[in-house]
A and B are shown apart, each in its own frame.
Chain A
């Protein structure tokens, strides 16, 4: 399992693959090693699958505090169930599905407790990081920063279903369709067509803005 903590130019050169097969082939083996007490294997699982869990949580548009709690709950429960999961090679789907259920439960409990439940109110993206912190200071980087900002902004303007799907798809490494299905409760067969439409929609928005 490879870890791509920060974007790099090399990332562009990777062939575009649809998740699972390459990056996650060894998940089952890592789970087995972790069950046997190998902390490094556990760490590799966390590094490799954290972005997926985080993407699923973010796709459900919780507040930052709630998102943090769901993320932790999912990992605590995974640690607890380690060695008891029936299909270790499908750990990504297990995590995605657990994250989804915790998100839905939380949303339900918020609905119960507050009458002013408006997803928009809960929609806060952490603002404490700026792209500048991550990119080297050069003209090229500035152009990259600007493009990324624009893509992110237009992504945020998409409808709920598209935003949700794309937020899960943009986990790194790319999730398999089984994982996306577990994350969003939609049929594997409908993900491809929906993905195409959502990305076309985003492309059209960017083109309209002259990006």
Chain B
């Protein structure tokens, strides 16, 4: 086990408010067993819910090396200036993969998006390993859904040339 390393005083002193009286530092005891006890407590009182573990096992079906991943390049939650006083602002997302860009607006009313450059595409809104809602993007690349994604979601697009999947996100 690591011993207290005084070279890290800056980091450690930042939490002194949390950690309390420094006289505890002089108490020497084996911290391993206490950590083990905590581990046991967590396993009993706050374990991974079984249904969640099962969903993660089933998520193997989402493994698809043939699809290109469109990475999130803009998320209004992170990248935009908050609108003061506005309570339900649509979330704006932009994904990029090579020369394909997907803009998506998620609001309580549903989902509104556009594929760029404009092109028709068949789209699936994925919400897990099993569930998918089919949509169609018109010749201008526009698509809409009146179902607002709840929880994790991704879009799978089939254009003329390829299959693109957006990075999984929590809506």
Per the bound structure, the CA–CA distance linking A192 and B32 in Å amounts to 12
Q: How far is the CA of A199 from the CA of B154 in the complex (A)?
A: 41
Q: Which residues of A sit under 8 angstroms from B169, Cβ to Cβ?
A: 73
In chain B, what residue has the closest Cβ to A39?
B60
Decide if A169 touches B170 in the complex (CB within 8 Å). Answer: no
Say yes or no: A194 contacts B15, CB within 8 Å. Answer: yes
Instruction: State whether A201 touches B20 (Cβ < 8 A).
Output: yes
**Nearest neighbor of B150 in chain A, beta-carbon distance:** A69
Q: How far is the CB of B142 from chain A (nearest CB, A)?
A: 25
How many contacting A-B pairs (Cβ < 8 A)? Answer: 233
Name the prevailing secondary structure of the A interface residues: helix
The verdict on A54 contacting chain B, using a C-beta distance below 8 Å, is yes
Given contacts A75-B55, A105-B77, A161-B19, contact A196 B27 (CB under 8 A): no
Chain A hits for B78, CB < 8 A:
105, 108
Residue of A nearest to B167 (CB): A77
Where the two chains meet, the residues of B that have a C-beta atom closer than 8 Å to any C-beta of A are 1-5, 7-8, 11-12, 15, 17-20, 24-25, 27, 29, 31-49, 52-53, 55-57, 59-65, 69, 75, 77-78, 82, 87-89, 91, 128-129, 151-152, 154, 165, 167-170
Could you write out 13 A-B pairs with CB less than 8 Å apart? Answer: A16-B33, A69-B170, A83-B65, A113-B88, A151-B38, A152-B41, A170-B42, A171-B42, A187-B11, A190-B12, A193-B2, A196-B31, A199-B34
